[in-house]
Amino acid sequence: MASHRRPKQPSRTRINVLTATAAAAVAVTSQTAQAAPSKPSLDEVKSKVDKLYEEAEKATEKYNGAKEKQEKLQKEISDLQDTVARGQGELNGMRDHLGSMATAQYRTGGVDPSIQLFLSSDPDDYLDKAATLDQLSSKQSDALEKIQDKQRSLEQRRTEARTKLEDLAETRKELGKKKDRIQGKLSDARDLLNTLTAEQREAMQRAEAAATADVDLGSALPASQRAGAALSAAQGKIGSPYVWGATGPSSFDCSGLTSWAYAQAGVSLPRTSQSQASAGARVSADNLEPGDLVLYYSDLHHIGLYAGNGQVLHAPKPGSSVQYTSLNSMPFMYGVRVG
Active-site residue identified among 4, 97, 301, 302? 302
DSSP code string of 35-75? HSPPPPPHHHHHHHHHHHHHHHHHHHHHHHHHHHHHHHHHH
C-beta separation of 322 from 240 below 8 A:
yes
160: which residues sit within 8 A by CB, 6+ positions away? 80
Question: Is 97 one of the catalytic residues?
Answer: no
Q: Give the Å distances, CA to CA, from 236 to 240, 249, 337.
A: 9, 10, 21
CA pair distance 319, 253, nearest whole angstrom = 11
Question: Is 254 one of the catalytic residues?
Answer: yes
Report the SS3 class of residue 244. Answer: coil
- The whole-angstrom distance between residue 166's C-alpha and the CA centroid of its chain comes to 19
Active-site residue identified among 4, 97, 254, 301? 254
DSSP code string of 165-183? HHHHHHHHHHHHHHHHHHH
Instruction: Just list the catalytic residues.
Output: 254, 302, 314
